[in-house]
């Protein structure tokens, strides 16, 4: 059984323990975390607590992560677009169409398969299925991801995500012409009660904030940059739909009649974080993929 330790930060003070821990990893549901608490697998300052325990600043949390289901992840040689790498972290530009980590039905061809062939020293703190992955982007979203290569880096990068100090800017093309130059969407996200495979704005969802800025307007579309303050599943896709401007090409949240792009026009173009060991702020920018550039030219010509 793996152990993970976490110290409660200012941003988490007063929050319930189950909320805090499920917020440390996209893959951990609150229900799953509550089961771990009831089984005594989560200790606060060495003591067992109830699921509604309210965290105090500096509380020492120890999480015993159950062994993940053994699914062998095979390293695969891939031509990865690596932007930065040292002994602690790696930044990679993921192409559209690539799944980030293996899951039943997707055991090969994922970014993790390629990373495991590229470097043998990935952080295993997230279990064998997700080595090094501290945040992820959807299969059909392209762009930059940071990967932890050891536990020190993993803990630091997770804490930076919790404290909202990681810079994550995405470029997107949406349906409709947004009249405002800037905006902020602050709406909680959770599972859609009508469709458990989708996310939606729901009253009891997790806090979610997206800032957007209009870059260019076309005849029936808008080119925007979205900056994440939080990083919920499908956050930009759901938030832009919620305000009436769904992403072009989005098969799940877009309109029936949309441009056929084999997935949403969304690119994680800017990623910035503080290096876990040196304390230096690093920021990277990946250019738009070719299909995205072509789409902008096409929309300009149709203006």
pLDDT, tens digit, for every residue of 143-183? 999 999 888 898 899 899 989 999 999 999 999 999 999 99
Give the pLDDT of residue 129. 46
Give the pLDDT of residue 29. 76
More confident position, 117 or 245:
245
147 DSSP assignment: E
- Contact in structure between 223 and 267 (CB atoms under 8 Å): no
158 DSSP assignment: H
CA dist 261 and 258 (Å) reads: 9
Tokens of 287: 């250019």
- Contact in structure between 63 and 21 (CB atoms under 8 Å): yes
Q: What is the pLDDT of residues 54-78, one digit of tens each?
A: 999 999 999 998 765 555 678 899 9
Give the pLDDT of residue 302. 86
Using alpha carbons only, give the angle 296, 144, 251 rounded to the nearest 5 degrees.
Answer: 55
Residue 142, H or E segment: strand 142-148
Candidates 289, 271, 290, 269; CA nearest to 90 is 271
In the block, which residue shows the tokens 């930059």? Answer: 144
- Contact in structure between 173 and 237 (CB atoms under 8 Å): no
Q: What is the pLDDT of residues 263-282, one digit of tens each?
A: 999 999 999 999 999 999 99
Share of the chain above pLDDT 90, in %: 71
Candidates 209, 210, 212, 188; CA nearest to 200 is 188
Catalytic amino acids? Answer: 138
Report whether pLDDT(204) > 70: yes
């Amino acid at each position: 059984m793996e152990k993970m330790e976490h110290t409660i930060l200012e941003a988490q003070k007063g929050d319930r323990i189950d909320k805090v821990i499920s917020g440390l990893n996209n893959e951990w549901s609150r229900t799953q975390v509550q089961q771990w608490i009831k089984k005594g697998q989560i200790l606060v300052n060495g003591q067992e607590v109830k699921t509604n325990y309210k965290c105090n600043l500096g509380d020492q949390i120890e999480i015993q992560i159950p062994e993940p289901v053994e699914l062998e992840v095979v390293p695969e040689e891939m031509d990865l677009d690596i932007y930065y790498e040292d002994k602690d972290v790696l930044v990679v530009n993921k192409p559209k169409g690539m799944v980030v980590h293996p899951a039943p039905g997707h055991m090969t061809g994922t970014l993790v398969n390629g990373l495991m062939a590229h470097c043998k020293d990935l952080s295993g703190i997230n279990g064998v299925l997700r080595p090094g992955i501290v945040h992820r982007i959807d299969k059909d979203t392209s762009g930059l991801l940071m990967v932890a290569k050891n536990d020190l880096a993993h803990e630091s990068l997770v804490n930076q995500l919790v404290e909202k100090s990681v810079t994550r800017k995405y470029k997107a093309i949406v349906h409709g012409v947004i009249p405002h130059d800037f905006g902020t969407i602050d709406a909680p996200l959770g599972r859609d009660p009508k469709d458990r495979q989708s996310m939606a704005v729901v009253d009891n969802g997790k806090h979610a904030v997206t800032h957007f800025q209009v870059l260019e307007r076309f005849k029936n579309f808008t080119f925007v940059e979205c900056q994440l303050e939080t990083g919920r599943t499908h956050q930009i896709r759901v938030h832009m739909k919620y305000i009436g401007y769904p992403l072009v090409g989005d098969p799940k949240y877009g309109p029936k009649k949309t441009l056929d792009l084999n997935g949403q026009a969304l690119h994680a173009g800017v990623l910035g974080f503080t290096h876990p060991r040196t304390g230096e702020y690093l920021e990277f920018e990946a250019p738009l993929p070719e299909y995205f550039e072509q789409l902008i030219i096409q929309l300009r010509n149709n203006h």
